[in-house]
Structure 1
Amino acid sequence: MKWTEREIPNQTGRVAVVTGANTGLGFETARALAEHGASVVLAVRDVEKGKQAAARISGDVTVQELDLSSLESIGHAAAELHTKHDRIDLLINNAGVMYTPKQTTRDGFELQFGTNHLGHFAFTGQVLDLLLGVPDSRVVTVSSIGHRVRAAIHFDDLQWERSYSRMAAYAQSKLANLLFTYELQRRLARHGTTVATAAHPGMSDTELIRNVPTAVRLGARLVTPLIAQKATMGALPTLRAATDPAVLGGQYYGPDGLGESRGHPEVVTSSNQSYDVALQRRLWTVSEDLTGVKFPL
């Protein structure tokens, strides 16, 4: 059976927090969850754009300011969510940046690693207590098929201070998303109610390419309509990882088409490196040290 939005179970009574939900995959994820009854929080950097997105969604939708490139903003957002909610059922770590010029976050981290991985690591750690003990609660982190391309965790230069490659830095951040998911699942397993899963959208037509070099971006605009799928399809792996009753902790979902570039969601495998337990644990320890966030596990 090809899994579609029609297979999403009734989400009434469940609270879902979706990062980067004002556009693209995050918006489609939030829309589908709200349409199936969930109370959805759009956790976004630009509150005005978040409000515009919320107005386009039918259902119970609110907006929470969250800048994943700032540990201070992450802390404020987590504190506000604690005042507004006594539980979270679904945390969808979707927001991300791709192929950005060399930049740093407010805390001095390389922008892609700092936003895509460290930001979500810190945010998850500070709201996880709202998920623990909630039946069938899930943390879903969105990775990419790009985690395989020139991917490595450069522990000797995590912030790319000696040299910089947009593609390699992006690949590092997406590999980190998977290492984080698998280590989080191992730590959650003893609790029995919350699970961690991951997903990737294949090749989807979203705004992520806005940061690639101009020549590449122009070429992508010509080719994308031919090979990429719409954001509604790209969001399906995330939605299945978040809502399918048959999902198991530590699973990774992606499209079922050629090269996992497009299609309907199914369980897929990630790179051999992503399953390296020693690497998962080392990255976790480094991430705790860099962010100052300890998980309530």
Structure 2
Amino acid sequence: MRLDIIRVVGRLDDLMSEKSYRAMGACAKSKRANIVYTLELARRTASSPVEALVVHPGSAMTGLQQHGNGALSRIVTRIAARLLMGSAEGAAWPSLYAATSPYVRSGRFIGPAGRDQTSATPKPAKLPTGADDPAEGRRLWAASEQLTGVPFDLEAGAAI
């Protein structure tokens, strides 16, 4: 998923998409939440040996795109897949890089280095605007605890 979509659509109000639901909007929102939450985890574990990394695979042709609405959407997806998207195998590279590189540190965002961060060799990537806002991280952390009913005490290292 392109990062500009995550920036625009992935606002973290209406986390459960109760006001409105659109598949790509919900996907963008979940991607942004992953980024914000992981950066908050990195802040909360900064004095521990825990490393919290955010990884994005870029745009890859997986099975998700086949669920578009209508024939036009499916045709556009096929064209976009050839022009803009990498392979599902290539989408695994950023995760492998993050897991094995001695240069990656907690709080980093790793993604493909290609045009629009859609494919190519992984590298540290630019965060979506505002994703590193500590206030947004705290709000999402609190909302996650409320929605799951599980408060998490990082000092004790376990759920309460």
SS in structure 2 at match of 1:196: coil
SS in structure 1 at match of 2:9: coil
- Per-residue CA deviations over 1:127-181 (Å, capped at 9, x if unaligned) read xxxxxxxxxxxxxxxx863422322111xx3322233333322221111001101
TM-superposed CA distance for 1:272, in Å, is 2.1
- Residues 144 and 200 of structure 1 are in contact (CA less than 8 Å); yes or no, is this contact kept in structure 2? no
- Residues 39 and 132 of structure 2 are in contact (CA less than 8 Å); yes or no, is this contact kept in structure 1? yes
- Per-residue CA deviations over 1:218-274 (Å, capped at 9, x if unaligned) read 321233123221122111111111121111001011111111111110001111220
State the match for 1:259 in structure 2: 116
Mapped to 2, the partners of 1:231 and 1:177 lie a distance apart of 20
Of 100, 123, 126, the residue aligned with 1:243 is 100
Counterpart residue type for residue 249 of structure 1: S
- Is 1:200 the equivalent of 2:56? yes
RMSD: 1.8
Mapped to 2, the partners of 1:212 and 1:175 lie a distance apart of 21
- Residues 254 and 260 of structure 1 are in contact (CA less than 8 Å); yes or no, is this contact kept in structure 2? yes
Of 60, 84, 102, the residue aligned with 1:227 is 84
Q: TM-score, normalised by structure 2?
A: 0.85
The percentage of aligned residue pairs carrying the same residue is 38
Relative to its length, the structure with more strand (as a share) is 1
Mapped to 2, the partners of 1:149 and 1:210 lie a distance apart of 23
Mapped to 2, the partners of 1:295 and 1:245 lie a distance apart of 29
Q: Once superposed, which parts of structure 1, at least 4 consecutive aligned residues long, lie more than 3 Å away? A: none
Give runs of aligned pairs for residues 126-141 of structure 1, distance below 5 A.
none
Mapped to 2, the partners of 1:144 and 1:199 lie a distance apart of 13
Structure with greater contact order relative to length (CA < 8 Å, sep ≥ 6): 2
Mapped to 2, the partners of 1:162 and 1:194 lie a distance apart of 36
- Residues 229 and 262 of structure 1 are in contact (CA less than 8 Å); yes or no, is this contact kept in structure 2? yes
- Residues 203 and 262 of structure 1 are in contact (CA less than 8 Å); yes or no, is this contact kept in structure 2? yes
Of 57, 69, 86, the residue aligned with 1:213 is 69
Gaps of 5+ in 2: 155-160
State the match for 1:158 in structure 2: 15
- Residues 144 and 201 of structure 1 are in contact (CA less than 8 Å); yes or no, is this contact kept in structure 2? no
Of 43, 48, 67, the residue aligned with 1:186 is 43
Judged with a 3 Å threshold, the aligned counterparts in structure 2 of structure 1 residues 205 and 165 are, in CA distance, closer, same or farther, namely closer
Give runs of aligned pairs for residues 84-99 of structure 1, distance below 5 A.
none
State the match for 1:41 in structure 2: none
Counterpart residue type for residue 127 of structure 2: S
- Residues 199 and 253 of structure 1 are in contact (CA less than 8 Å); yes or no, is this contact kept in structure 2? yes
Mapped to 1, the partners of 2:85 and 2:20 lie a distance apart of 31
- Residues 10 and 29 of structure 2 are in contact (CA less than 8 Å); yes or no, is this contact kept in structure 1? yes
- Residues 2 and 116 of structure 2 are in contact (CA less than 8 Å); yes or no, is this contact kept in structure 1? no
State the match for 2:7 in structure 1: 148
Q: TM-score, normalised by structure 1?
A: 0.48
Mapped to 2, the partners of 1:253 and 1:241 lie a distance apart of 7
SS in structure 2 at match of 1:266: strand
Counterpart residue type for residue 212 of structure 1: G
Mapped to 1, the partners of 2:15 and 2:27 lie a distance apart of 12
Mapped to 2, the partners of 1:160 and 1:176 lie a distance apart of 13
